[in-house]
């Protein structure tokens, strides 16, 4: 492809897809959308460390109860497995 | 003033939300404009601008204030646009782009028919995204190749090669459709 071909292709391309004019900016402030995105991502993140105990104290208490029950009555394990 | 800007960059690097907001407000137009040049669709550009800043937010610890924010943001924006183009390579979308761009008809040379413009745009949309981005920025937008290379994270020689391959593939595609550019 020589220089002439290249210029012809460039002209054709610019006619088919005109360059974006000047300082194209968003029509509205995108910060509220950014905040929504950040909140959504934070909510979807898996909880780690102590953070997982903040919102799930009931689950933790239930788990502790089950562990305690199994420790005191090992014979209850098959019954628990049956109901799981 | 310079110190203030430097402080904001350092605070952002440390994960400060207020600094991130300041950088977002300062650079959102530039990032939007850059992405619009690549994807050419305002609604998608808004989404990709937010996606870009989300990636920037996640990568704050890897940011090097000495290298400046704009170039770094531009690289991330280019990557986000590339990911989107890779996922959206359909003919209908290219047609929609043209229809949604009234300036295209107004500015076009009368000698080049609407059909040829549409076929050219569609053929261009079929190019591999990495060739398409290089050609869009360097050929259509006429940005300096050095700037395009920096945004793509490649050398100027690689940009030239991508442009060459893009134009050659485009010409071949058009010739197959009976259009002799």
CA gap B57, A38 in Å, rounded: 9
B46 contacts A30? CB cut-off 8 A = yes
| B162 Cα to chain A: minimum distance (Å) | 13
Q: What is the model's pLDDT at position A54?
A: 59
Task: Please report the ipTM that was assigned to this predicted complex.
Answer: 0.73
Split at pLDDT 50, 70, 90, the class of A77 is: confident
Single residue among B62, B88, B114 that ends a domain in this structure: B88
**Cα radius of gyration rounded to whole Å, chain A:** 31
Q: Please state, as a whole number, how many other Cβ atoms lie within 10 Å of the Cβ of residue B12.
A: 23
Identify the burial level of B42 via C-beta atoms within 10 angstroms of its C-beta, where 0-12 means exposed, 13-18 middle and 19 or more buried: middle
Which of A7, A15, A16, A34 is most worth mutating to test chain B (most B CB atoms within 10 A of its CB)?
A16
Q: In chain B, how many domains are there?
A: 2
Domain containing residue B103: CATH number? 1.10.10.10
pTM of the model: 0.75
Q: Please give the average per-residue pLDDT across B23-30, as a whole number.
A: 95
| B55 Cα to chain A: minimum distance (Å) | 11
**One domain, residues B76 and B146:** no
Single residue among B88, B120, B141 that ends a domain in this structure: B88
Within chain B, where are the H helices? 2-13, 17-39, 42-58, 69-87, 91-99, 102-107, 114-125, 129-135, 145-152, 156-176
B21 contacts A18? CB cut-off 8 A = no
CA gap B177, A82 in Å, rounded: 68
CA gap B178, B181 in Å, rounded: 10
**One domain, residues B94 and B80:** no
Q: Which helix (H) or strand (E) holds A4?
A: helix A3-16
**One domain, residues B137 and B52:** no
Of A11, A19, A31, the CB nearest to B25: A31
**One domain, residues B73 and B157:** no
A17 contacts B54? CB cut-off 8 A = no
**One domain, residues B94 and B181:** yes
Q: Please state, as a whole number, how many other Cβ atoms lie within 10 Å of the Cβ of residue A81.
A: 8
Q: pLDDT digits over B146-178, tens only?
A: 999 999 999 999 999 999 999 999 999 999 888
| A53 Cα to chain B: minimum distance (Å) | 24
Q: Could you tell me the residue range of the domain that residue B133 belongs to?
A: 90-181
| B24 Cα to chain A: minimum distance (Å) | 7
**One domain, residues B14 and B95:** no
Residues of chain B contacting residue A13, judged by C-beta atoms under 8 Å apart: 120, 124, 135, 139-140, 170
Q: What is the model's pLDDT at position B127?
A: 93
**One domain, residues B104 and B81:** no
**One domain, residues B128 and B180:** yes
More confident residue, B109 or A70: A70
Q: pLDDT digits over B50-78, tens only?
A: 999 999 999 999 999 888 899 999 999 99
């Amino acid at each position: 492809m020589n220089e002439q071909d290249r210029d012809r292709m460039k002209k054709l391309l610019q006619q088919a897809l005109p360059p974006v004019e000047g300082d194209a900016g968003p029509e509205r402030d995108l910060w509220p959308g950014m905040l929504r995105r950040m909140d959504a991502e934070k909510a979807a993140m898996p909880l780690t460390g102590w953070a997982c105990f903040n919102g799930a104290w009931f689950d933790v208490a239930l788990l502790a109860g089950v562990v305690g029950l199994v420790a005191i009555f090992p014979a209850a394990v098959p019954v628990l497995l049956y109901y799981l | 003033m310079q110190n203030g800007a430097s402080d904001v960059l350092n605070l952002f690097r440390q994960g400060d939300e207020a600094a991130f907001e300041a950088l977002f407000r300062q650079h959102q137009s530039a990032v939007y404009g850059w992405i619009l040049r690549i994807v050419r669709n305002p609604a998608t550009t808004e989404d990709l601008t937010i996606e870009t800043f989300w990636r920037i937010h996640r990568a704050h610890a890897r940011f090097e204030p000495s290298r400046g924010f704009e170039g770094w943001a531009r690289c991330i924006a280019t990557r986000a646009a590339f990911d989107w183009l890779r996922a959206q390579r359909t003919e209908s979308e290219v047609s929609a782009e043209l229809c949604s761009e009234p300036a295209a008809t107004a500015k076009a040379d009368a000698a080049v028919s609407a059909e040829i413009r549409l076929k050219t745009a569609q053929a261009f949309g079929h190019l591999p995204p990495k060739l398409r981005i290089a050609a869009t920025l360097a050929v259509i937008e006429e940005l300096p190749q050095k700037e395009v290379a920096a945004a793509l994270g490649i050398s100027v020689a690689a940009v030239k090669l991508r442009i060459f391959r893009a134009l050659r593939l485009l010409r071949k595609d058009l010739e197959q459709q009976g259009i002799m550019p």
